[in-house]
Structure 1
Amino acid sequence: KSADEAFKFWGHDEALRRMVLEIRKLRPDVIITNHSVTTNDHGHHQATARLELEAFDAAADPKRFPEQLSNGVTVWQVQRLFVRARGNATQNPDRQGGGEVITIDPNERDQIRNTVFAEEALRALQKHATQGPWPKTFAYRLTREAKGAEAVPKDSHNFVDGLRLPDDIARQLQQLNMDPRSLISSLDRPDRVLDNLLKASKAELFDERKADDADSDRFLLMTLRLDAALAQASGISLTVRPRSSVLVPNTNSTFVITVSNKGPRTAEISGATFDPQNFHIDAGNVKTPSRLAPKATINIPVERKTPADSKINVPLSAHLYDPDPFGEPILAFVRIDIGDAFFGLISMTHIDVAPPVEIAEVAPFPLIVTRANMATTPALNGDDQALRARRIWLNVKVVNHQTSAFKGTLSAASMLADNRSDSDSVELAANQAKTLRLTISSVGNSLTVSLGNGKVFAPTKNIPVSYTDAHVAPNLRVGYIRGFDYSLPNALNALGVESNELTVDTIASMNRSRN
């Protein structure tokens, strides 16, 4: 595998555009990566490493992807880029040429979360079937740094060591303290913590209006952190959720904004906004009760219409390379007042956008044609690539995402000269899913499955067809031990073989029965 092969499928410019956008949105001072441009690395990793080097400079260049520079997104200069150094890398003593190496011990404990740093990484690595064991320490080499960035101190074990904010900005962004103990060490006194946080909010400690444009994002980030701390300390929370699992274009959807107060103090809701992106709504103006008593929960229903041009992202597997593959972002904001201080609660989620009706699944996929399920003579018109089926059927799962019933036709068209197709009528209740069996009379090199009624249509599904001269012994039963994927059971099912996955318990029971 090579980087060029990865870019053939990703598209170099599109992949770079996405990476630059995320850097500009996240605005990191330091980027850390395991990906290397060396040829002994996997092609996907090489491609990612090349993109990171390009994005380091491109994110700070207003001429690169200028269409991104709106809605609060601005250019951003990352200060440092570290790349994982393999082997027994050590600190570079002369510190020349950006060759500084930072050694990190992942077994150190995070004092705030009371977990070892490696635990979070281990949870992710355990998602892989063949990973580990890992070394006790990891080394990262400084590969790129911004012009004028502070040097990395010798023997540093922190990626941001040496980076300094201007003194006046640093003073305004300093950690909140509570004499005689710090705020973090005073968590066993929640009332005092909340009072000090409210005092900081009242004083507008991190007001971004006090900062220059270049530093306003740092102040905004600290404001959001202060708001999150106030929400945690006060016990007040906000969620927004739809009443249906997906949104349908050009259809009304109901959402529920929930504000809960699990704390001991009475609060006031002085404003609420429901502002999903791409929804045609008036700004703000969600009516809410003003008083939020202790232990109270308020549910606020709001209804909005999904635009007809909303981008469908269901199923996700077919939209992984879309610019925005995760559905419609939905945002709710509530302002909470406690005494003469206030803070904001923000809840954001992404909701999948589905067509009115959907062909959710077709099995088998792909369709494997054997002598057992096909005739040995060509179909009509003598086309050798088109065979007459004896007993082939498709199990098709269809879903009606509408709030009204659907009547239509499910069909499978074969790539034949006479455009032969097989069809059946479909009736679905509102929000109903159903699996139907569709018999196929003839197949070519592919099948196209469609669902519609003249007004409403589902995106079509293309089913590849392969012919194999395979023979299956009658009454054959196969027991198998599956590997890390489902290729073996899928192949057995495609050939029509009766099979069962073996487990330790089933094998043990078989041994006992023999005894």
Structure 2
Amino acid sequence: MKKGTFAKLFSVTTAVALAGSLVLPLAPQTAHADRGVVDLWKAIKPLTTIASAMNTGAHPDDEHSAMLAYLSLGKGVDTSSIIANRGEGGQNEIGSELGNALGIIRTRELQEASKVTNVTLGILSEQIDDPVYDFGFSKSPDETLSKWGEEEVYERLIRKIRELRPDVVIPAFLNEPSTHGHHRAINVITVRAFEDAADPSVFPEHLAQGLSPWQVKKLYVPASAKDYDVRVPVGEYDEIYGASYLQLGEESRFMHKSQGMGRHYDEGPSYNYYKLEKSVVPENRGNTAKEKEPDFFEGIAYTFDDLAEEVKKAAGGGKLAAELSALQKDADRVIAAYPSFARVAEEVHAMLADVRKTKAAVEASGLERAVKQDVLHRLEVKENQLSKASAEALSLVAKVRPETGELVAGQTAKVTVTAYNGGQVKWSQVKLSLHVPEGWKARATGPTSVNGLGYNQTAKAEFEVTVPSNASLFQPYQEPLITADVAVTAFETASVTHVVPADAVAVLPGFALSVSPGATVLNTLKPEEPISVKVTVKNYNPGAANSAISLELPDGWSAEPKSVPVSFAAKGETKSAAFTVKPGSSVKPGQYKVTAVARGNGKESRQGAQVIRYPHIGTTYFVQPAEVAIQAFDLNVPEGLKVGYVSSGFDNIDQYLRQVGVDVVSLSAKDIESGDLSQYDSIVLGIRAYGFRPELIPSNARLLKYVEDGGNLVVQYHKPEDKWKPELAPYPITIGTPLIQWRVTDENSKVTMLAPEHPIFNTPNKITDEDWNHWIQDRSAYNPSKWAKEYVELIKNGDSGEKEFTGTFLTATYGKGTYTYSSLVWYREIPALVPGAIRLFVNMASLKQ
């Protein structure tokens, strides 16, 4: 068949319904049917090799996607991607979620990206608020490992290596000063793990868990075209996929939408380069001279024939070697049968029977323990791959469908498991089974097996699932709560397909609470001013329910009313209750907390359930306490201050300015292009606004005229790729590159005010050294490297041992007005209610000549 047929009829951008098994729980599937001959090829190609490779990185999107696509999709290598954290400390280009909610999004994106390249995924961060957390940019691997807990993250990496037993490991980054500290840290522990994963004295507790030491055979690191050992031809065009491996890799990167990843590449030669860092391959088998290696696996067993040669040399390995060589012939017959689904299915099932027979022979053999474990692991990987190949070749479409994915403790719900035969091979038997967590009950309400299932027929089993009354609430990083197995017998051999629901199945609070605001300021200059709190309640109970809503308050505080009854006629209804909270008469600066509580139906809830839903990742949830965080401090806000805010979509500073009494108007494109700007005391541009508000650059002259006529324009940080040009400012400002060298990552670094008498430090709030305390994550990002002499340098600040920046906070008069450019990370500090940041931002927005 010509490649054009494949390219036109089948999409490889859609995730595979039956993709490779994951170290992490299988992510909910966004594709409900197989994708024909392309996915059939994707499933059978791995049968041709027993080699394996692992790529390690720090964050979602660190994976070397083109190289992974080449190895997995092109060569069939058993390929894994191990990522340290979940990207919680980054920005969000598709919504307002930050922190843990962003980590949930990026995890789902990473899972979907891994499906595109058919890669096994593992993440070292295991739960919400895990120690292995993306705490923001770091310049140091030592700082990174200290914050993560070096022993903990290292143990998890060693465990992944011992579980997956890769022949080759490739860290995504080098340990060099120009690289993110998180990236450097992963390089450090990956390189160290090359020896330690094979040492039984390193984390000996793994032996009790059934994990034996494993010696990686080669470790490669990224290199350049000038100095490399292996050149990976990612630009090779694959006729079956109708794309190059570089393009296939980018299709996976497009899944990282919250980071704006993914690029379009033209066809043509392209290469990734890697250098051999460590190896245990004997010299007579590896690359002994200075010449380049043909691939990562030079000198490493790559096929069943190669494995047979190794086993033949071991005591008692002669007969087993013959069986392993027979598996190579089986794999060749599978490939030769392509693209006939029926013929491929027959050959796959024959090979599956042979693999199981060989496994039994290996287990019964007298091979030494290490050799036996190695062969058995490779055979188990092959058995799993064959089950997936069987599902594709038989055109099995398997689904598990709960009647609802939103459950509450004590609920009973129906779950249906189906297996559809879309192929020409008649199945002799189908068995459907359901799996639920320990303590749950799953009862079949009818038959769970069918004898004989032909083309266009469906087998179905229904189950009643009961959630225990003490069931834990949903954790987004745990394994799916409900899964199914579909066992299909054809050609006298059974294969098993594991299935998960299309979207997350979650145990949620019966009454899910959300509070508004989620965080607010208590101005201790006006302690008598009450705080309005709105509580919205969603009923997740299956039917009518009644509840009473109240607030838990700090000592000495009060709320009116004390309690609000709410009743629901059906699941999914929402009701609201409004409260007026009055602080204690002698409230002092500090942090306070107000918690919403719902009591009813014999239950009590203090949690909310944030629904996270995007087309490319489906639906999931973030269950968290329903709390209002309150920061009390002194704050002066000019009466009647009116600010026009131009959001880039990456921050919500405007809502916090409104909370403290600023009249904030969100400016539309029309407002910027033709509206009356003179009505605003200040106009504030959100971070990176020039890159994401296309009307800004054509309207920049209007903004500068606004300043010239007496306005106050505040511009927050930009990257060069945000279409920033020095001349956008009234006097040129150049952003420093490389960007890694122009930021301050220590939130506790000393700040010196260079112009302490400037109004920005005095009006309406007096700024002192105390105001630079308690900042979070970073001080500044993407600092300017050059600026015109007209600017006043307001502060100097830098990381320990480095030259301090003086261009972080610049202001200048321009005509009758004021222009301020700031690289301070306001978008993190203000939602975190950092008192000094809020006081200083109000001053900045209040500047007048």
TM over 0.5: yes
Q: For 1:242 and 1:72, how far apart are their aligned partners in 2?
A: 34
Task: Report what 1:237 is aligned to.
Answer: 397
Question: Are 2:178 and 1:12 equivalent residues in the alignment?
Answer: no
Identity, in percent, stands at 19
Deviations 1:210-254 (A, max 9, x none): 333331121122122222222212212322233222444454443
Cα offset for 1:64?
Answer: 4.5
**1:192–1:214: structure 2 CA closer, same or farther, 3 Å change rule?**
closer
Partner SS, residue 528 of structure 2: strand
Contact conserved, 2:396 with 2:420, CA < 8 A, in 1?
yes
Contact conserved, 1:172 with 1:206, CA < 8 A, in 2?
no
Partner SS, residue 5 of structure 1: helix
Task: Report what 2:603 is aligned to.
Answer: 455
Task: Report what 1:139 is aligned to.
Answer: 273
Equivalent position to 2:343, from 192, 211, 219? 192
Q: For 2:262 and 2:489, how far apart are their aligned partners in 1?
A: 49
Q: For 1:487 and 1:368, how far apart are their aligned partners in 2?
A: 15
Aligned partner of 2:165: which letter? Answer: R
Contact conserved, 1:411 with 1:450, CA < 8 A, in 2?
yes
The 5-angstrom pairing of residues 301-312 of structure 1 reads 301-307=462-468, 310-312=471-473
Aligned partner of 1:258: which letter? Answer: T
Deviations 1:75-130 (A, max 9, x none): 43322232223x55413xxxxxxxxx322232223455343222243342764348
Cα offset for 1:260?
Answer: 0.8
**1:494–1:187: structure 2 CA closer, same or farther, 3 Å change rule?**
farther
The 5-angstrom pairing of residues 116-515 of structure 1 reads 116-123=244-251, 124=253, 127=257, 128-129=259-260, 136-146=270-280, 151-152=286-287, 154-164=291-301, 165-166=306-307, 167=309, 168=321, 171-174=325-328, 176=330, 183-184=334-335, 186-204=337-355, 207-211=358-362, 212-279=372-439, 287-307=448-468, 310-314=471-475, 316=476, 325-348=477-500, 351-357=504-510, 359=512, 361-369=514-522, 377=526, 387-390=527-530, 392-415=531-554, 417-421=555-559, 423-429=563-569, 431-432=571-572, 434=574, 436-443=576-583, 445-453=591-599, 455-459=603-607, 460-466=625-631, 467=633, 468-471=635-638, 473=640, 476=642, 478-482=644-648, 485-495=650-660, 497-500=663-666, 502-503=668-669
Aligned partner of 2:149: which letter? Answer: G
Contact conserved, 2:227 with 2:275, CA < 8 A, in 1?
no
Task: Report what 1:104 is aligned to.
Answer: 232
Task: Report what 1:381 is aligned to.
Answer: none
Deviations 1:461-506 (A, max 9, x none): 34322354334637x47351416x1244444554564533535x87
- Which is richer in strand? 1
Contact conserved, 1:357 with 1:402, CA < 8 A, in 2?
yes
Task: Report what 2:710 is aligned to.
Answer: none
**1:243–1:75: structure 2 CA closer, same or farther, 3 Å change rule?**
farther
Contact conserved, 1:102 with 1:158, CA < 8 A, in 2?
yes
Q: For 1:216 and 1:172, how far apart are their aligned partners in 2?
A: 16
Partner SS, residue 36 of structure 1: coil
Equivalent position to 1:48, from 178, 186, 193? 186
Q: For 2:403 and 2:193, how far apart are their aligned partners in 1?
A: 40
Contact conserved, 2:230 with 2:274, CA < 8 A, in 1?
yes
Partner SS, residue 274 of structure 2: strand
Aligned partner of 1:298: which letter? Answer: A
Task: Report what 1:382 is aligned to.
Answer: none
Q: For 2:430 and 2:209, how far apart are their aligned partners in 1?
A: 25
Partner SS, residue 25 of structure 1: helix
**1:331–1:441: structure 2 CA closer, same or farther, 3 Å change rule?**
closer
Larger CA deviation: 121-130 vs 7-16: 121-130
- The normalised TM-score by structure 2 is 0.49
Cα offset for 1:287?
Answer: 2.3
Equivalent position to 2:222, from 84, 90, 96? 84
Equivalent position to 1:24, from 145, 153, 162? 162
Q: For 2:325 and 2:209, how far apart are their aligned partners in 1?
A: 29
Larger CA deviation: 361-370 vs 214-223: 361-370
Contact conserved, 2:511 with 2:541, CA < 8 A, in 1?
no
Aligned partner of 2:497: which letter? Answer: L
Partner SS, residue 603 of structure 2: coil
**1:58–1:433: structure 2 CA closer, same or farther, 3 Å change rule?**
farther
Partner SS, residue 449 of structure 2: coil
Aligned partner of 2:605: which letter? Answer: F
Contact conserved, 1:59 with 1:77, CA < 8 A, in 2?
yes
Cα offset for 1:36?
Answer: 2.9
**1:117–1:24: structure 2 CA closer, same or farther, 3 Å change rule?**
same
Q: For 1:80 and 1:70, how far apart are their aligned partners in 2?
A: 27
Contact conserved, 1:277 with 1:328, CA < 8 A, in 2?
no
Q: For 2:667 and 2:360, how far apart are their aligned partners in 1?
A: 63
Cα offset for 1:72?
Answer: 6.4
Contact conserved, 2:654 with 2:664, CA < 8 A, in 1?
no
Contact conserved, 1:173 with 1:206, CA < 8 A, in 2?
no
Cα offset for 1:132?
Answer: 8.3
**1:347–1:74: structure 2 CA closer, same or farther, 3 Å change rule?**
farther
Partner SS, residue 464 of structure 2: strand
**1:277–1:44: structure 2 CA closer, same or farther, 3 Å change rule?**
same
The count of aligned residue pairs is 473
- The normalised TM-score by structure 1 is 0.76
Q: For 2:217 and 2:471, how far apart are their aligned partners in 1?
A: 37
CA RMSD of aligned residues (A): 4.0
Contact conserved, 1:359 with 1:451, CA < 8 A, in 2?
no
Q: For 2:637 and 2:341, how far apart are their aligned partners in 1?
A: 71
Q: For 1:161 and 1:44, how far apart are their aligned partners in 2?
A: 31
Task: Report what 1:321 is aligned to.
Answer: none
**1:336–1:207: structure 2 CA closer, same or farther, 3 Å change rule?**
farther
Contact conserved, 2:538 with 2:572, CA < 8 A, in 1?
yes
Contact conserved, 2:418 with 2:432, CA < 8 A, in 1?
no
Q: For 1:237 and 1:32, how far apart are their aligned partners in 2?
A: 35
Aligned partner of 1:451: which letter? Answer: V
- Which is richer in helix? 2
Contact conserved, 1:104 with 1:138, CA < 8 A, in 2?
yes
Cα offset for 1:163?
Answer: 1.0
**1:65–1:434: structure 2 CA closer, same or farther, 3 Å change rule?**
farther
Cα offset for 1:261?
Answer: 0.9
Contact conserved, 2:330 with 2:350, CA < 8 A, in 1?
no
Larger CA deviation: 228-237 vs 395-404: 395-404
- Structure of greater relative contact order (alpha carbons < 8 Å, 6+ residues apart): 2
Q: For 1:398 and 1:240, how far apart are their aligned partners in 2?
A: 30
Which stretches in structure 2 are left out of the alignment for 5+ residues? Answer: 1-137, 310-320, 363-371, 608-624, 677-694, 700-849
**1:219–1:247: structure 2 CA closer, same or farther, 3 Å change rule?**
farther
Which stretches in structure 1 are left out of the alignment for 5+ residues? Answer: 92-100, 317-324, 378-386
